[in-house]
Amino acid sequence: MATQYYTYSPTTRTLAPAPKAVRTANGIVCNPTAAQYAAIGAYPLAADTPPTPPEGKVAIPDGYELADSAWHRVYRYEDAPPPPPRTFSKYRLVRALQADNVWDEVKAWLQSQEGAWDLYLAAEDISEDEPLLAQGIAAVKQLLGWTDEQVAAVLDAAVAGGA
């Protein structure tokens, strides 16, 4: 299979396939040689191996540079997006709270909040970014004197789809 050659556009920072024929001093040449392609700024594309980004970053393609008679993809680093909020299984949450003998207190708190028990019953699962969950965590910490570590252990045990 013939090597594909590309030209680089600094404006768009992209590669475009080079023409299959080039104009030289001797006329138009079909199936140009590497040297004839190089004369018009066309080179093959090197194998792309994305770099391993530093912790908390992602590698984003950012154009190409010419090195060793081939186009090499260039990368820049950007902050990694935050992870999506976790989803908690109601069943696993109840089981984890029962294991700590506090489900009755949490249930009583839910029932004491206007509309909270109905929302709990209607939900299939609970997202980490649900405001009612944040209120419940604050209440559990205050009512039961729980630490952040105790709350985290229960939530870790309740992650939907977890082991």
60 inside domain: yes
Supply the range of the domain harboring residue 140.
87-157
pLDDT value for 31: 86
Domain boundary residue, one of 79, 113, 128: 79
Q: Which of 79, 95, 127 is a domain's end point?
A: 79
Rg (CA), the chain: 30
Same-domain pairing of 75 and 12: yes
- In a domain? residue 163: no
DSSP 11: T
Closest CA to 23 of 41, 9, 6, 36: 36
36 burial type by CB count under 10 A (0-12 exposed, 13-18 middle, 19+ buried): middle
Residues 75 and 9 in one domain: yes
Per-residue pLDDT tens for 53-103? Answer: 999 999 999 999 999 999 999 999 999 999 999 999 999 999 999 999 999
- Same domain, yes or no, for 28 and 48? yes
Q: For 102-148, write each residue's pLDDT tens digit.
A: 999 999 999 999 999 999 999 999 999 999 899 989 988 998 999 99
Closest CA to 18 of 26, 6, 28: 6
End position of a domain, from candidates 54, 79, 104:
79
